[in-house]
Amino acid sequence: MKIGIIGLGTVGEGVLKVLTNEKESIFEKSRADIKVKYACDLNINRDFSFDFDKSILINDYKKILNDPEIKIVVELIGGETIAKQIIIEAFEAKKSVVTANKALIAKYGVELFQRAKQNGVSFLFEAAVGGGIPIVTPLMESLVANTVTEIRGIMNGTSNYILTKMKEDNLSFDEALKIASEKGYAEADPTYDVDGIDAGHKINILASLAYGGSIKFKDMQLSGIREISTVDIFSANQLNSTIKLIASSKLLSDKSVQISVEPTLIPNSEILAKVDDVYNAIETTGSYTDKTLFYGKGAGMDPTASAVVADIVKIVTRNHIESDYFFNSTKVFEIVDSNTVKDSYYIRVSDDFDIENSPFELINQIENYYIILANNISKNEINEILKDAKERLILRVMK
């Protein structure tokens, strides 16, 4: 199936890269044969980080919309005016659309879905929420049996990075924002990220998917993290809690929801309190599944491209994947003996073991046992050294 990509910014370039480098692997797994016929951007005379057939580059998106061979338009220019127009024109040309444009869906989701349906085409947007984290498809399809009443999570990586830095390095908001900008995590104007607008778009989309119907974005209450000070971070810590920018939505009745984005104190015992740096995590509460949490990289070229490509494959296969790739007998893997792999190990050995004349360093002595931590050694080697000890336990240590 032939597709056209419109917009070669970070995500667009990522999608072109994945579809170029993984063409065969994607076909092997899904039987989806995806060919990028055009990749459109205003600036096409620039360097790219990978090799591909440059003849697909064009700067007039109309060429994609007017080509009857193109079945899927991948809209990745962002913004709300031209992007919206392109998507509507694509629908009218009977082309399916894949996008990562969260603002557009949060604000014009109802209209866009309606137009896609009128034209009998698909409109998919896994990448709009949670970047590389599968959440839109799991919410719509895997949790289909459930009434999902509550959704809450950390949906903006930039603000989460700033809050993490403030806590870990005892920085003010302005100092942490400066580091985020230097690292490329914050834009020149960080308003969308730090004032809760980006997270607002995302929770709007998820809530609309969970509850059906729609929620007016402009009526949502959004607040950000600019007011958080080191005093608050310190006080939260004293309360065994961590401050996170939480987007949340709760179905209150058939007709009403509580939905907001606001900095929130989370008890450190909750997994959400452990979600640091640019990572995102989204927790859904379903009537049958109870709590399910999805965690991963919420932004960036590669993770977001991964989600866009999953949507393209979905439209191409119009089906669940049933290729020869999974569970076949042509490729039976050899299993490497774990006991020969060098790793870090925790050792508990009875104190008849002659630790003085061993290569091991004692960490602790409890009851009649020595406790040892050993690095860069295999289980077989440890067992050989401990072979005369009365009792021993060896546990791998995860790095």
Binding mask 360-389 for a second copy (x = CB under 8 A): ---xx-xx-x-x-x----------------
Rounded Cα distance between 264 and 113, Å, is 33
DSSP string, 76-129: ---SSSHHHHHHHHHHHTT-EEEE--HHHHHHHHHHHHHHHHHTT--EE-GGGT
What would the x/- binding string for a second copy be over residues 121 to 150, using CB under 8 A?
Answer: -x-x-x-----xxx--xx-xxxxxxxx---
Beta-ladder partners of 290: 286
Provide, rounded to whole angstroms, the least separation between the CB of residue 340 and a second copy: 10
Stretch near a second copy under the rule CB under 8 A, chosen from 59-67, 157-165, 358-366, 382-390:
358-366
Nearest Cα to 236, choosing from 273, 199, 186, 187? Answer: 273
Strand partners, 370: 349, 365
Nearer to a second copy, 77 or 106 (CB): 106
| 42 touching a second copy, by CB under 8 A | no
| Site for a second copy contains 350 (CB under 8 A) | no
Residue from the set 263, 299, 349, 385 that interacts with a second copy by CB under 8 A? 263
Of the pair 61, 107, the CB lying nearest a second copy is at 107
Task: Select which of 202, 244, 314, 379 is catalytic.
Answer: 202
Q: How many residues bind a second copy (CB under 8 A)?
A: 135
Alpha-carbon gap, residue 189 to 172, rounded angstroms? 18
Q: 187 and 193 in contact (C-beta within 8 Å)?
A: yes
**Binder of a second copy out of 28, 80, 92, 354 (CB under 8 A):** 28
Instruction: Tell me whether residue 67 or residue 270 sits nearer to a second copy (CB atom).
Output: 270
Question: For a second copy, which is the closer residue by CB, 55 or 328?
Answer: 328
Angle of helix 173-182 versus helix 157-169 axis, rounded to 10 = 120
From candidates 318, 356, 357, 384, binder to a second copy by CB under 8 A? 318
- Residues between 203 and 242 that touch a second copy (CB under 8 A): 207-209, 211-216, 219-221, 227-229, 231-232, 234-236, 238-239, 241
Q: CB under 8 A: which stretch of 54-62, 87-95, 191-199, 298-306 binds a second copy?
A: 298-306
Among 272, 374, 386, 389, binds a second copy (CB under 8 A): 272
Q: Using the 8-state DSSP alphabet, how is residue 336 labeled? A: P
Q: Is 63 a catalytic residue?
A: no
The rounded distance, in Å, linking the Cα atoms of 362 and 370 is 7
- Hey, CA dihedral for 76, 77, 80, 84, is it positive or negative? negative
**Helical axes 23-30 vs 10-21, angle rounded to 10°:** 70
Closest CA to 30 of 318, 330, 317: 317
* Residue 102 contacts a second copy per CB under 8 A: no
To the question of whether residue 187 is assigned a binding role by annotation, the answer is yes
Site for a second copy in 162-201 (CB under 8 A): none
Q: Under DSSP, is residue 55 helix (H, G, I), strand (E, B) or coil?
A: helix
Choose between 66 and 235: whose C-beta lies nearer to a second copy.
235
**Paired tokens of 81:** 């005016």
Tell me whether residue 165 or residue 314 sits nearer to a second copy (CB atom): 314
Q: Which residues pair with 148 in a beta bridge?
A: 286
Please say whether the beta carbons of 201 and 105 come within 8 A.
Answer: yes
Is 118 a binding residue for a second copy by CB under 8 A? The answer is: no
- Residues belonging to the binding site are 102, 187
Catalytic residues: 202
